[in-house]
């Protein structure tokens, strides 16, 4: 079958590889759509230590072709979205339902072959029903680009009605964080992004105000003026300066939820201020299968408008080229059984 294979830093190529043979607890899935996440771009750039020979891609939707002998509840022809990792089901987080925090995960597209291919074998535990009313494109990105900010806002951040929310980074995660904050009852949403395209997209999906941090001599003060004291900040970039900017904008009792992954070491405010104001900082990673199912339900019910979420669709034959191009606020989706760019 055809697949995009990571060959080393800066190298990804279309190749013929063996079709996977599903084990008894797995299904063979025809990949109908696979979203290109920022993590995939870091993999291809050689920044995450992924071994050459891996097929990237963890945002996947498709149609079941075959089921293993131990699989129950699924049949060929079922449309599904996929959880982005195979969890061990044995560690304490898994046993408590927090499978996103599994201690021994096999992340699709990193420790295990991913979805930038015509077909993939997945265990039954990864499968989530894709409602008939939702396209494969949206089903794929819902598993990460939409469910991840849902988890950050609600499960980790504890979003409450009437809050002032700041979203730092108006890319694939941030755009959906803005929409979900609105859906969750935020009174005001402020988005921060240096790119004009990102700021325009943020306003289009419901941000009340936007800030270009590069246009301000003191972006922390400018953000405080715009937000008026944020009670919840969602950081989607993963850089030292953006985490510190988020901290500086918090009102007393405010929470900063860091979603963006990076290697920096941001500083806390002076301890007297940090403790006296009862600020809190949380990390947030991915989501759970149950949260993906909830997000799909919101989309199917028409409560969450994701019509702007997919920026373009790319066939496998042309997909390698997208990793040399800058990413925009909308997701690029690889469609393995299509040709060319749409």
Residue 98 lies in a domain: yes
Of 283, 299, 327, the residue that ends a domain is: 283
Separation between Cα atoms, residue 223 and residue 221, nearest integer Å: 5
- Asked if residue 40 and residue 171 are part of one domain, the reply reads no
- Asked whether residue 278 carries a pLDDT value surpassing 70, the answer given is yes
Position 342 in a domain: no
- pLDDT band of residue 272 (cuts 50, 70, 90) is confident
* Mean pLDDT within 227-255: 92
Given a cut of 60, whether residue 248 has pLDDT beyond it is: yes
Beta bridge partners of 257: 234, 282
Q: Does residue 88 belong to any structural domain of this protein? A: yes
Is pLDDT at 74 greater than 60 in this prediction? yes
Both 136 and 162 in one domain: the answer is: no
Tell me, yes or no, whether 37 lies in a domain: yes
Do 254 and 322 fall within a single domain? no
pLDDT digits (tens, 9 = 90+) for 111-127: 999 999 999 999 999 99
Q: Find out whether 153 and 177 touch, Cβ atoms under 8 Å.
A: yes
Cα 237 to Cα 245: distance, rounded to the nearest angstrom: 11
Do residues 169 and 264 share a domain?
A: yes
Read off φ and ψ for residue 222, nearest 5 degrees: -60, -40
Is 153 among the domain residues? no
Containing structural domain, residue 130: 2-146+287-335
d(CA 111, CA 51): 8
Residues 101 and 170 in one domain: no
**Distance between CA 210 and CA 192 in Å, rounded?**
6
- Do 323 and 269 share a domain, yes or no? no
Share above pLDDT 90 across residues of the chain, in percent, rounded to a whole number:
79
User: Hey, is 93 helix, strand or coil?
Assistant: helix
- The burial class, CB within 10 Å (0-12 / 13-18 / 19+), for 43 is buried
Contact call for residues 145 and 173 (beta carbons, < 8 A)? yes
Assess whether 303 and 247 both reside in one domain: no
Going from the C-alpha of 239 to that of each of 219, 251, 317, 337, the distances in angstroms are 15, 21, 33, 36
302 confidence band (pLDDT: 50, 70, 90)? very high
107 confidence band (pLDDT: 50, 70, 90): very high
Residue 292 lies in a domain: yes
Per-residue pLDDT for 1 more than 90? yes
How confident is residue 339, by pLDDT bands cut at 50, 70 and 90? low
Kindly state whether residues 7 and 140 are assigned to the same domain: yes
Kindly report the CATH number assigned to the domain that includes residue 107. Answer: 3.90.180.10
Number of domains in the chain: 2
Specify whether 130 is located in the same domain as 213. Answer: no
DSSP 151-215: IIIIIIT---TT-EEEEE--SHHHHHHHHHHHHTT-SEEEEE-SSHHHHHHHHHTT-SEEE-GGG
Quote the mean pLDDT of the chain: 92
The answer on pLDDT for 238 being more than 90 is: no
Are 214 and 242 found together in one domain? yes
Burial (CB < 10 A; 0-12, 13-18, 19+), residue 218, is exposed
Q: Residue 17: what pLDDT?
A: 95
Predicted local distance difference test score (pLDDT) of residue 224 = 87
Higher pLDDT, 171 or 59: 59
> Cα–Cα distance between 202 and 328 in angstroms, integer?
12
Domain of residue 257, CATH code:
3.40.50.720
Checking if the pLDDT of 221 tops 90, the result is no
User: In what helix (H) or strand (E) does residue 39 lie, and over which residues does it extend?
Assistant: helix 38-44
Residue 159, pLDDT score: 96
Question: Is pLDDT of 213 > 80?
Answer: yes
Residues 193 and 291 in one domain: no
Q: State pLDDT tens for residues 124-180.
A: 999 999 999 999 999 999 999 999 999 999 999 999 999 999 999 998 899 999 999
Query: How confident is the model over 64-88, as a mean pLDDT?
Result: 95
Query: What is the C-alpha to C-alpha distance for residues 286 and 105, in angstroms, rounded to an integer?
Result: 12
Position 293 pLDDT exceeds 90: yes
Among 258, 283, 308, the domain-final residue is 283
Q: Cα 107 from chain centroid?
A: 13
Pairing mode of beta strands 119-123, 85-86 = unpaired
341 domain residue, yes or no: no
pLDDT at 342 over 70: no
Of the residues 240, 260, 283, which one is the last residue of a structural domain?
A: 283
Q: What is the pLDDT of residues 166-209, one digit of tens each?
A: 999 998 899 999 999 999 999 999 999 999 999 999 999 999 99
**The model's pTM:** 0.92
Q: Are residues 121 and 79 in the same domain?
A: yes
Q: Is residue 78 part of a domain?
A: yes
């Amino acid at each position: 079958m055809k697949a995009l294979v990571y060959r080393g830093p800066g190298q990804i190529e279309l190749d013929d590889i063996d079709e996977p043979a599903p084990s008894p607890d797995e299904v063979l899935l025809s990949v109908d759509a696979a979203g290109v996440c920022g993590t995939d771009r870091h993999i291809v750039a050689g920044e995450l230590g992924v071994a050459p020979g891996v097929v990237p891609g963890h945002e996947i939707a498709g149609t079941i072709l075959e089921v293993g002998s131990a699989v129950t509840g699924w049949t060929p022809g079922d449309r599904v979205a996929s959880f982005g990792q195979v969890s061990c089901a044995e560690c304490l987080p898994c046993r408590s339902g927090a499978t996103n925090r599994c201690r021994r995960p096999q992340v699709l597209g990193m420790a295990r072959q991913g979805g930038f291919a015509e077909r993939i074998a997945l265990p039954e535990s990864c499968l989530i029903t894709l409602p008939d009313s939702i396209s494969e494109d949206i089903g794929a990105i819902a598993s990460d680009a939409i469910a991840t900010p849902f988890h950050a806002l609600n499960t980790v951040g504890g979003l409450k009605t009437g809050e002032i929310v700041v979203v730092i980074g108006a890319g694939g995660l941030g755009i959906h964080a803005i929409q979900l904050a609105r859906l969750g009852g935020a009174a005001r949403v402020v988005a921060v992004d240096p790119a004009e395209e990102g700021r325009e997209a943020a306003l289009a999906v419901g941000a009340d105000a936007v800030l270009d941090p590069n246009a301000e001599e003191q972006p922390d003060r400018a953000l405080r003026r715009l937000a008026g004291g944020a009670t919840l900040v969602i950081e989607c970039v993963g850089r030292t300066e953006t985490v510190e900017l988020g901290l500086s904008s918090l009102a007393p009792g405010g929470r900063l939820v860091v979603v963006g992954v990076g290697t920096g070491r941001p500083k806390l405010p002076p301890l007297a201020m940090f403790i006296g104001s009862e600020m809190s900082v949380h990390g947030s990673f991915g989501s759970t299968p149950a949260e993906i199912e909830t997000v799909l339900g919101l989309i199917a019910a028409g409560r969450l408008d994701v019509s702007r979420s997919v920026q373009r669709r790319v066939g496998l034959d042309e997909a390698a080229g997208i990793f040399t191009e800058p990413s925009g606020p909308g997701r690029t989706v690889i469609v393995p059984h299509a040709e060319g760019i749409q």
